[in-house]
């Protein structure tokens, strides 16, 4: 997405946010204190330079200054634990349903009650809270896709997650660690679809088919497939798009060796995950936090929030302008709630441990 398109999208988001007016106020509220109306403290695991304009758009629309703390998901969670009830955090932004669920179980969120968010964000991308509202909300989505070495592997042999565990792919499969949230969420979704017994059988087949012990990140998996060290691997879609859009000759040569698949298009659909967030349990500015989360669901913010990392907007009506995503085309999405993926991660880890998935 070029700079001009980004600015236009962000401007549209600011206008829709401002025009929405009553959609961004809570029933029965009389307004925040002067201090609350002036600032908002955001703890974010997102660390993209392009987010500067996203935050600037919120400040322009509301007059609320954003103070940011940026760190990895794990570092933010540990910081919140150490700060306890004295934490200044208003909003917590994390990546992956597994991490959001972990923060939920650690008691780090309070419910987000907003009719606007409920209207805009699909139910399966929200973790509904007991007593109403949402514990956390997804704002952008990414797909867990399959990449394969075109010289070593036939696409029809690896076009589903289940086929990766088939003996035909023995010695060809590479993945990242079995304890990584991306893997835990994928297995959590599989538990929801197929049950624990079938999922454990799949995990054992994956271990039997590994080309090497799990290691590295998603970009490392892509490079290993191109190098022929692996025949097939799993990666999040935005890593693939990032490499696909690279202008470096070495990256272009590498990507020419790789095939891409949307898994399970004839069956359950491709697994997706989210980047999302919620209101911190002890937020000093809860009303401003709600306004910010509602702002992230506006059209302009959605385009920018998603395209800043080659992801898809969570709001279905928002059009994708990212040329890399357009090139990938449309696909059938797995119908599994991100909340279910999160709560299944303990069972997922036990299954992977029993399968000796390192």
pLDDT in tens, 260-287: 999 999 999 999 999 999 999 999 999 9
pTM: 0.87
- Supply the pLDDT for residue 339: 95
349, 222: one domain: yes
168, 134: one domain: no
Please, what sign has the CA dihedral across residues 294, 296, 301, 306? negative
- Supply the pLDDT for residue 307: 81
96, 123: one domain: yes
- Supply the pLDDT for residue 30: 32
Q: What is the pLDDT of residues 294-319, one digit of tens each?
A: 999 999 899 887 788 899 999 999 98
| Residue 346 domain-assigned (yes or no) | yes
Residue 8 Cα distances to 1, 3, 24, 53, 141, angstroms: 11, 9, 22, 11, 22
310, 293: one domain: yes
Q: What is the pLDDT of residues 134-144, one digit of tens each?
A: 999 999 999 99
Pairing of strands 272-280, 109-110: antiparallel
313, 207: one domain: no
261, 291: one domain: no
- Rounded CA separation 168/153 (Å): 10
109, 164: one domain: no
- Domain residue limits at 48: 3-141+272-319
134, 277: one domain: yes
Give the residue among 253, 132, 124 at the shortest CA–CA distance from 192.
Answer: 124
């Amino acid at each position: 997405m070029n700079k001009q398109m980004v600015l236009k999208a962000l401007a549209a988001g600011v206008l829709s946010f401002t025009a929405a007016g009553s959609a961004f106020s809570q029933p029965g509220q009389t307004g925040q204190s002067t201090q609350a109306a002036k600032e908002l403290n955001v703890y974010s695991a997102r660390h993209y330079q392009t987010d500067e304009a996203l935050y600037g758009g919120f400040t322009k629309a509301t007059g609320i200054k954003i103070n940011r703390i940026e760190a990895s998901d794990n570092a933010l969670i540990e910081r919140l634990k150490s700060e306890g009830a004295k934490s200044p955090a208003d909003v917590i932004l994390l990546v992956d349903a597994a991490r959001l669920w972990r923060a939920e179980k650690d008691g780090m969120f309070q419910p987000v009650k907003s009719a606007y968010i409920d209207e805009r964000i699909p139910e399966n991308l929200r973790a509904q809270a007991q007593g109403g509202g949402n514990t956390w909300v997804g704002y952008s989505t990414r797909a867990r896709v399959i990449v394969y070495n075109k010289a070593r592997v036939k696409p029809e042999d690896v076009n589903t997650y289940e086929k990766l565990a088939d003996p035909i792919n023995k010695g060809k499969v590479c993945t990242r660690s079995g304890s990584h949230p991306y893997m835990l969420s994928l297995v959590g979704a599989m538990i929801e679809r197929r049950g624990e017994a079938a999922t454990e059988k799949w995990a054992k087949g994956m271990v039997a088919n590994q080309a090497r012990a799990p290691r590295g990140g998603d970009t490392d998996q892509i490079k290993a497939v191109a190098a022929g060290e692996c025949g097939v691997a799993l990666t999040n879609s935005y890593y693939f798009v990032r490499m696909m859009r690279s202008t470096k000759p070495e990256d272009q040569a590498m990507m020419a060796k790789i095939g891409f698949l949307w898994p399970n298009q004839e069956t359950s659909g491709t697994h997706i995950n989210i980047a999302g967030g919620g209101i911190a349990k002890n937020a000093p500015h809860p009303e401003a936090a709600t306004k910010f989360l509602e702002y992230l669901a506006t059209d302009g913010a959605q385009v920018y929030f998603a395209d800043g990392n080659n992801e898809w907007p969570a709001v279905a009506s928002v059009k994708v302008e990212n040329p890399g995503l357009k090139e990938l085309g449309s696909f059938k999405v797995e119908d599994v709630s991100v909340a279910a993926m999160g709560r299944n991660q303990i069972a997922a880890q036990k299954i992977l441990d029993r399968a000796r998935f390192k």
